[in-house]
Amino acid sequence: MKKAFFAFLFLFFVFLTLFLFAAAGASAAETKTLLVGLVPEENIFRVMEQHLPLAQYIEEKTGIKVRFTVLPRYGDVIDKFKARHMDGAFFGAFTGYLAHVKLGVEPLVRPIGPGGLVTAQSVIFVRKDSGIQSFQQLRGKRAVFVDKAAASYIYLLYQLRRLGVSNTGEKRFFSGHYFTGNNEESIYAVLNGGADVGLAKSRYFEKLSSQDPLVSERLFVLSRSGDMPDIVLCLRKDFPPATKALLERTLMNMRYDPEGIQVLRVLRYSGFEKADAADFDPVARLADGAGIKIPSYRYAR
Amino acid sequence: MKKRLIYSLFLLFTLFTLGSTLTILYIYRTTFSLRTLIALHRVEIIRQNLVISVQTVQSDLYTIGTPYDTGVDETVKNVIHLDKSVDICLGCHHTPEMTARLTQIDQLTDNYKDVLSNLITTSASPGHIKRLRMAAIGIGSTLLNKSRQMALIANNRLNGETLTVMEQISNSRIILLVTLVLSFCIALVIAIMMTRQITAPVNALVGATRQIKSGELGYIIPFKGKGEFGELIDSFNDMSLTLKDSNEQILRYLHNLSNLYSITITFHSVTSMHDIFKELSEGIRDLTEAQQSGILLRDGEGEFFSHMYPACGITEENAKEMRIESPVLENLYHSSMRRALILNEDIQKSPTASVDARLGVRNVMFVWVGHKGKPMGVMRVANKKTGDFTEEDARLMAILGNSFFVALENVRLWESLRLQMKELKDTQEQLVQAAKFAAIGELASNVAHEINNPLTSILGYAELMREDEDINNIRRDLDIIEKESLRARDIVNSLLEFSRKKPLKMGLVDINRVLGSVIELIGVQTKDSNIRIAADWGSVPPLKGDEDQLKQVFLNLASNAVFAMGKSGTLGIRTFVQGDFANIQISDTGKGIPEEIMNRIFEPFFTTKNEKGTGLGLSISYKIVQSHNGFFDVESEPGRGSRFTVRLPLGDKTVKAKLVSINPSGSSLPVES
């Protein structure tokens, strides 16, 4: 009887100790702040302002603290993901694909844009008054790109390759070029005469077209790619599954929650849906068509 | 007062409300100014924040790409902070001019953000980057200038507003102080006035109550005023006067009651008809303040009611003239339902009208003295000195009449009792005398024998003288005859002296000497017997008493002792002083008194001597001793004898008589007195 009592007491203390350690671990995990990167597809300040309510919402709903960080270059997402021990990032189509291949990040959810769209295209546009009607006429013109890691640039390489221009010859194809780092500036650069041809994501081109009549009046889309993922939230591959599931559930249920709807409205999304690696297939095909070898692709500007 | 109180309270309330309103107004005004000041401070802070934010972002701008670059995240944070600062500024209420300025700043901020974002994200030629940087710096500088201008405007306004508010606070402080002091002073004045208005009549009331308490009934408060206090004081004055009237009435009643009491007491102390009529008529006169007063009583035959005399205000002749036939008064008695006949005006209706006219009667009143529904008499008063006769007068007289009737009966009874007492006294004297005669009779045989001896001697010597011729022998015989004759005369004189009826004569008595004369009388009685007299004389001072009566007591006791012993024995006589009493013990060695008759020996006519005794001796002795404030002690033991102790007080102290007997076993028993 006495032995049984001491055995019970021993087991009780063992379980108690384990429970306390587990609780402390869980508490530590819960209190860890997730660092999530943002790709500068538009004005970085606006991107940050739009995503701050999302961080607050996630924390309120899950207790998980989220801190967003804006990366000035698309490629920085890849370089700094490891260096800064980031937990995840809202990637564009090509950066997402790059990260998936190079870093092994796993797609979690992707936002549903206006009209239920979850994809976007890359557009190559020119001013209407430039007289450019075909891709051949772009030779010797001043070009403005978003980023070498942006899908629109891959689409340009794809088109140039179709014209026989090698991947490294694009700089000679144009008389001059520069990278704006975001889509809107690229559009305005062409509109304001800073360049003759520009690249951008179709969503921004269409947004500015609807907001600024000059864009639709004066710019002309010379070429448009196929559908590619617009934005994809990917998490590092060793992300805790439970937290991952919690995050996924929370984000996917946002559209059913009045508070979540308010946050989505700021982000100009209507919700999130499940994403997976297959979503990057069109990008993979585009990169392949552009002759890009992902492991050796130098995405830095 | 109520209105005044309400008005005062209303005034105080108004004053309080005005003061409070003014205070609240100034507090509100001051706090509003302070709030404005605080708001301006906040605006200034916001604008200073804006300036600082712009400066911070500008600083970030200058350090981008340098070793001092704080990083994109910090820049983003600062820009967002700047944006928020602008939004906060815009969110406030401003003048249109200020709103336009802020809108301009907002637009500049947006441009600044665009250029900055572009600068941060752009990868272009150094010239392009430089242009972008210069554009950003230019916008930032403009923004900074405009923000500083805004801050300066806010600062200037804040300074101006601060001065205004400080002045307002100073003014408010003075006004509040003045209001407070003024309100306090006015409230104090009102309070003092109200207090005086309340305390003045209250003090007057308190003073008046003290006056009344000290006995000054009817005191009138001279306070003149309206309102509740005026009414209260009027009521108080009325109450004071009522108290005075009531007190006077009570005093009058008390006076009348006192008179009644005095008269009643006098009634019960008088013992003659003359006195009672005198007291009654004077009492009625004093009670009713009438000039004439007296009573008519039914005479012996019952045919008339005659006015008794003495009476007040009328002569004895007038009283005799007032004689009313009984039926007339009886009819009046019944027709008036026994109520008093008060004639203040119609005096011709008076049953004594014929005499009244001659006596100058103005008003007259008759009050009945009845007994068992019959008029026994009627009290008459006439000519009240002040005013008319009243029911109150009649009531007082009726009370007096009742006492009078009782007193009258008492006087009659007293006279009857006095007669009876006289008869009783006479009877008692006769009884005492009879007892004395009985004692004398008892002594007579012995006395006769004693007298017979000298007479025999006288006769013998007379015979010898006849035969003897010798003158010397004859002379000697004549001496003997003379001596024997003198002895016989002394015996007879003693007897006569004792048997003579004498009035009670109190004087100092030498007890031993009295007892000596008793022994002398008893000695004659015991001469031919074997009874020995043993006397033990103590030193007893003379005491107050009737010597003759005390001698009777002692002789009676000694005779009883001799009788109890028969032919032989010892008669003990002893005197001594014990405490405040002289003790006279007369004892015998006779047959004693049986216990069953011990309680009866002092009863009149109780005797154990059969036809030889009257049964009055001891009872009369008891009365005599009692009248001397003394008492008996009796001790007796059957077959061995008895001892009677008479205790007589030596001084003037009155000692209640008591009788104590000693039973055969020697214990004391009370003897019923």
CATH number for the domain spanning B650: value is 3.30.565.10
> Looking at the structure, do residues B523 and B402 belong to the same domain, yes or no?
no
For residue B126 the two structure tokens come to 């150094």
For residue A179 the two structure tokens come to 């990278």
Full DSSP string of B385-427:
SSS---HHHHHHHHHHHHHHHHHHHHHHHHHHHHHHHHHHHHH
For residue B561 the two structure tokens come to 């002792």
**pLDDT tens-digit profile of B576-606?**
999 899 999 999 999 899 888 888 888 877 7
> Scanning every residue of chain B, which has its alpha carbon at the shortest distance from the alpha carbon of A75?
B121
Mind telling me how many Å the CA of B153 is from chain A's nearest CA?
A: 29
Phi and psi at residue B569, in whole multiples of 5°?
145, -175
Q: How far apart are CA A250 and CA A233, in angstroms?
A: 13
Query: Residues of A with CB below 8 A from B124's CB?
Result: 178-180
> Looking at the structure, do residues B190 and B226 belong to the same domain, yes or no?
no
CA-based nearest residue to B649, from B544, B573, B500: B544
Q: How far apart are CA B519 and CA B571, in angstroms?
A: 10
Please name the residues in contact with B562: beta carbons below 8 A apart, sequence gap of 6 or more.
Answer: B522, B525, B526, B529, B531, B571, B588
Number of structural domains found in chain B: 4
pLDDT less than 70: residues of chain A? 1-31, 167-169, 301
Please name the residues in contact with B54: beta carbons below 8 A apart, sequence gap of 6 or more.
Answer: B82, B140, B143, B144, B147
> Looking at the structure, do residues B574 and B654 belong to the same domain, yes or no?
yes
Over residues B268-276, the mean pLDDT reads: 84
Mind telling me how many Å the CA of A79 is from chain B's nearest CA?
A: 15
Whether the CB-CB separation of B105 and B151 falls below 8 Å is answered with: no
CB atoms within 10 A of CB B328: 12
The four Cα atoms B153, B154, B158, B159 give a dihedral, to 10 degrees, of -30
Helix, strand and coil content of chain A, in percent to the nearest 5, comes to: 55, 20, 30
In a domain, B590, yes or no: yes
Q: How far apart are CA B426 and CA B432, in angstroms?
A: 10
> Looking at the structure, do residues B307 and B345 belong to the same domain, yes or no?
yes
Full DSSP string of B296-356:
EEE-TTSSEEEE-SS-BSS-HHHHHH-EEEHHHHHHHHHHTTT--EEESS-GGGSTTHHHH
Domains, chain A, ordered by start: 32-118+229-296 (3.40.190.10), 122-225 (3.40.190.10)
What domain range includes position B16? Answer: 2-197
In a domain, B481, yes or no: no
pLDDT for position B552: 85
> Looking at the structure, do residues B284 and B348 belong to the same domain, yes or no?
yes
Whether the CB-CB separation of B150 and B92 falls below 8 Å is answered with: no
**pLDDT tens-digit profile of B83-111?**
888 888 778 777 888 888 888 888 888 88
Instruction: Decide if B652 touches A, using CB distance below 8 A.
Output: no
Instruction: Decide if B124 touches A, using CB distance below 8 A.
Output: yes
CA-based nearest residue to A71, from A156, A128, A150: A150
Mind telling me how many Å the CA of A184 is from chain B's nearest CA?
A: 9
In a domain, B241, yes or no: yes
Mind telling me how many Å the CA of B164 is from chain A's nearest CA?
A: 41
- Given B197, B212, B245, the domain boundary residue is B197
> Looking at the structure, do residues B651 and B626 belong to the same domain, yes or no?
yes
- Given B356, B388, B415, the domain boundary residue is B415
In a domain, B98, yes or no: yes
> Looking at the structure, do residues B255 and B383 belong to the same domain, yes or no?
no
For residue B327 the two structure tokens come to 């039926």
Mind telling me how many Å the CA of A141 is from chain B's nearest CA?
A: 16
Over residues B261-279, the mean pLDDT reads: 84
User: Is the Cβ pair B120, A69 closer than 8 Å?
Assistant: no
**pLDDT tens-digit profile of B12-34?**
788 788 878 888 888 888 788 88
Query: What is the percent of chain B where pLDDT is above 70?
Result: 91
Query: Residues of A with CB below 8 A from B123's CB?
Result: 73, 147, 178-179, 181, 301
> Looking at the structure, do residues B274 and B411 belong to the same domain, yes or no?
yes
H-run or E-run covering B155: helix B126-213
Phi and psi at residue A167, in whole multiples of 5°?
-65, -25
User: Is the Cβ pair A48, B76 closer than 8 Å?
Assistant: yes
Q: Name the H helices within chain A.
A: 2-31, 44-62, 76-83, 93-102, 151-162, 170-173, 183-191, 202-211, 213-218, 241-252, 258-267, 281-289
User: Is the Cβ pair B123, A178 closer than 8 Å?
Assistant: yes
Query: Residues of B with CB below 8 A from A179's CB?
Result: 122-124
User: Is the Cβ pair B117, A179 closer than 8 Å?
Assistant: no
Mind telling me how many Å the CA of A12 is from chain B's nearest CA?
A: 49
Query: Residues of A with CB below 8 A from B80's CB?
Result: 45, 48-49, 52
User: Is the Cβ pair A49, B80 closer than 8 Å?
Assistant: yes
At B365, the pLDDT band (50, 70, 90 cuts) reads very high
In a domain, B151, yes or no: yes
Strand partners, A271: A112
User: Is the Cβ pair A69, B73 closer than 8 Å?
Assistant: yes
Which amino acid is present at A159? Q
For residue B628 the two structure tokens come to 């001397």
Mind telling me how many Å the CA of B66 is from chain A's nearest CA?
A: 15
> Looking at the structure, do residues B48 and B168 belong to the same domain, yes or no?
yes
Over residues B638-664, the mean pLDDT reads: 66
User: Is the Cβ pair B122, A46 closer than 8 Å?
Assistant: no
Instruction: Decide if B121 touches A, using CB distance below 8 A.
Output: yes
User: Is the Cβ pair A185, B128 closer than 8 Å?
Assistant: no
> Looking at the structure, do residues B334 and B395 belong to the same domain, yes or no?
yes
Q: How many alpha carbons lie under 13 Å from residue A31 in its C-beta half-sphere? A: 6
Quick one: B29 exposed, middle or buried, by C-beta within 10 A (0-12, 13-18, 19+)? middle
Over residues B498-522, the mean pLDDT reads: 81
In a domain, B451, yes or no: no
**pLDDT tens-digit profile of B32-55?**
888 888 877 887 887 788 888 888
Predicted complex ipTM? 0.80
Please name the residues in contact with B596: beta carbons below 8 A apart, sequence gap of 6 or more.
Answer: none
Query: Residues of B with CB below 8 A from A180's CB?
Result: 118, 121-122, 124
DSSP annotation of A291: T
- Given B415, B450, B471, the domain boundary residue is B415
> Looking at the structure, do residues B32 and B175 belong to the same domain, yes or no?
yes
Please name the residues in contact with B363: beta carbons below 8 A apart, sequence gap of 6 or more.
Answer: B343, B344, B345, B347, B382, B383, B384, B388, B389
Nearest to B117 among A45, A69, A147 (CB): A45
Q: How far apart are CA B145 and CA B142, in angstroms?
A: 5
Residue B184 sits in a domain whose CATH number is: 1.20.120.1730
Instruction: Decide if B110 touches A, using CB distance below 8 A.
Output: no
In a domain, B460, yes or no: no
Coil vs helix vs strand at A17: helix
In a domain, B600, yes or no: yes
Angle between helices B96-121 and B126-213 (to 10 degrees): 140
Q: How far apart are CA B569 and CA A259, in angstroms?
A: 151
Which residue of A36, A44, A177 is the best one to mutate when testing the B interface, meaning the one whose CB has the most B CBs within 10 A? Answer: A44
Q: How far apart are CA B457 and CA B480, in angstroms?
A: 8
> Scanning every residue of chain A, which has its alpha carbon at the shortest distance from the alpha carbon of B76?
A45
Of the two residues B384 and B262, the one the predictor is more confident about is B384
Query: Residues of B with CB below 8 A from A44's CB?
Result: 72, 76, 117, 120-121
Of the two residues B587 and B621, the one the predictor is more confident about is B587
DSSP annotation of B519: H
> Looking at the structure, do residues B279 and B144 belong to the same domain, yes or no?
no
